[in-house]
Structure 1
Amino acid sequence: MTTNTHNTNTIDVVSYCRVSTRGQGESGLGLEAQLEYINRAAQQNGWNIVGSFVDVVSGKLAIEDRPEGAKALAMCKELKAQLVVAKLDRLSRSVHHIARLMEETEFKVATMPHAKTFELHLFAALAQQEREFISQRTKETLATLKARAESGHVESVEKIARRTEALEKGRTNANRAKGTEAVKERSKLWMESVRDPIDLCIRKGGRTLQQVADCLNGKGITTSRGGKWSAIQVSRVMQNLALTFPSKEEVL
């Protein structure tokens, strides 16, 4: 039987999850993992979850501008509770938004339950800087390729020529190329959708590829083709996602 009584060390928290697309929200991809992160952190740290909200919306919007996000913040204020999210990017990918939220509401991150405000702000700043760096590097690489092609660099000229030729071959080849790109994009999105479930299986004690496969199968999570997981499939996906098992020191 559940009661409202809890010890003085217990912190009341409001759970908040966000998925980026309606399809992802309806299928539960990503959402189930977020909820499990939050629930496990609550159990391990003595947090009392007094409310739960889920948004299906882009992370570009500040949380106060999201339908369920606004309700979650209102409940935090009303109950003097702290907001809790699975990962920092569920709040926002913008350092500005996160910094502003820090001034108005206390919040916790389930994957970093003991992180202080300064540490969370620093982590958000580094993540944003990395995204901006990758974007800028991509633009610079394309500019360099064009400059080399214009100066007569053979390999660059050939790369530009192949791209131009593909565009000039007509609608059929263009559609074929679009189809290939769409397949790659779907594969990439699927890979990201199983990142958190695999990570959770490892955090729960999975120390071999087969144990992770059994964990995923037990959760009802299927492979990209809708089948059961094997150790080999887990190995391939973990390599693509750069996921690894913890070292013995980390386990201890």
Structure 2
Amino acid sequence: MEVVAYYRVSTKSQGESGLGLDAQREYVKFAAEQQGWVVVAEYEDVGVSGSIHPLERPSGAKAFADGRPVVVAKLDRMSRDVEHIAGLMKRHKFRVATMPTADTLQLHIYAVLAEQERTFVSERTKAALKSLDVRAEAGDIDALHSIANREDKLRKGRSMLNRTKGHDTQRQQADVRAALVKDAIELCVLKGAASLQAVADCLISRGIPTARGGNWSPTAVMRVMQRLGLELKKPV
């Protein structure tokens, strides 16, 4: 089956680094080899938010105008909006490299559950804080103590933030650098890298340097994976 590939990164730094786009290409390439797809064209949008409808993006519109099925690395590269996904399903064919055999119903369910979980987390947090405030206004001692503790923690947090602003900046920079190689590491694990050394070798073979421009070591891989919350696959 002939397909066209569509890649998207939401920040220019991801596009300039090439890591985000390269990792997406690897996902699509791996799925194409497994599923017998032939990628006949590639389109990419750099610095484009996932909140914008795919058909309103410069390259997204071209990809879907091609007429052949569109393949994306992950569903969120297409969109994070269930309404966008549902609308596209009615008019176009597309595939997701990380779920190559999923049908439209399964993709729709996945998108709904992902959006629902994000909404639930936000609503649970807001509801818990509102309930605490109501109980405190009614004179609930425990609630008053909880609010006092929360405010105290916020004050300490702000104070700590001011004292450690430089360290926070460094941590934020490290988080950004780690995020840029997340897809690359996930892909190495997906393709069989079962140890830290194997992941390091995989990154080196793909020409991806560390933040300091050097080669990867098992320790460097471990630190980045811990920062990203990634784990190696456990042997079956």
Q: Is TM more than 0.5 here?
A: yes
CA apart distance, 1:99: 0.3
Aligned to 2:63: 72
Deviations 1:195-251 (A, max 9, x none): 2111111122211111111111222223334333221222233234332333444xx
Aligned identity (percent) is: 48
Q: Which residue of structure 2 aligns with residue 17 of structure 1?
A: 7
| Equivalent residue pairs, number | 231
Greater shift in the superposed pair: 25-34 or 197-206: 197-206
Query: Any idea what the Cα deviations from partners look like across 1:100-132, whole Å, max 9, x if unmatched?
Result: 000010000111111111111111111111111
Query: 2:175·2:227 contact (CA, 8 Å) conserved in 1?
Result: no
What's the CA shift for 1:183?
3.7
CA RMSD between the two structures: 2.6
For 1:65-214, what aligned pairs fall within 5 Å after superposition?
Answer: 65-76=56-67, 81-143=68-130, 153-154=144-145, 156-164=147-155, 179-214=166-201
- More displaced 10-residue stretch of structure 1: 86-95 or 157-166: 157-166
State the structure with bigger RCO (CA 8 A, min sep 6), 1 or 2.
2
| Shift in CA distance, 182/90, structure 1 to aligned 2, threshold 3 Å | same
Match of 1:41 among 31, 49, 62: 31
Match of 1:207, SS state, is coil
158-167 or 54-63, larger mean C-alpha shift: 158-167
Partner of 1:5: none
Q: Is the 8 A contact 1:146 1:160 kept in 2?
A: no
C-alpha spacing 1:25/1:218, structure 2 compared with 1 (3 Å): same
- Stretches of structure 1 lacking an aligned partner (at least 5 in a row): 1-10
2:54 is aligned to 63
Distance of 1:67 and 1:246 partners within structure 2: 38
Q: What SS is found at the alignment partner of 1:30?
A: helix
> Structure 2: 5+ residue runs without aligned partners?
none
**Which has the higher mean CA deviation after the structures are superposed, 178-187 or 223-232?**
178-187
**Aligned structure 1 segments of 4 or more residues deviating by more than 6 angstroms:** 147-150
How high is the TM-score relative to the length of structure 1?
A: 0.80
Return the alpha-carbon distance in structure 2 between the equivalents of residues 148 and 226 of structure 1.
54
Q: TM-score, normalised by structure 2?
A: 0.85
Q: Which amino acid aligns with 2:99?
A: M
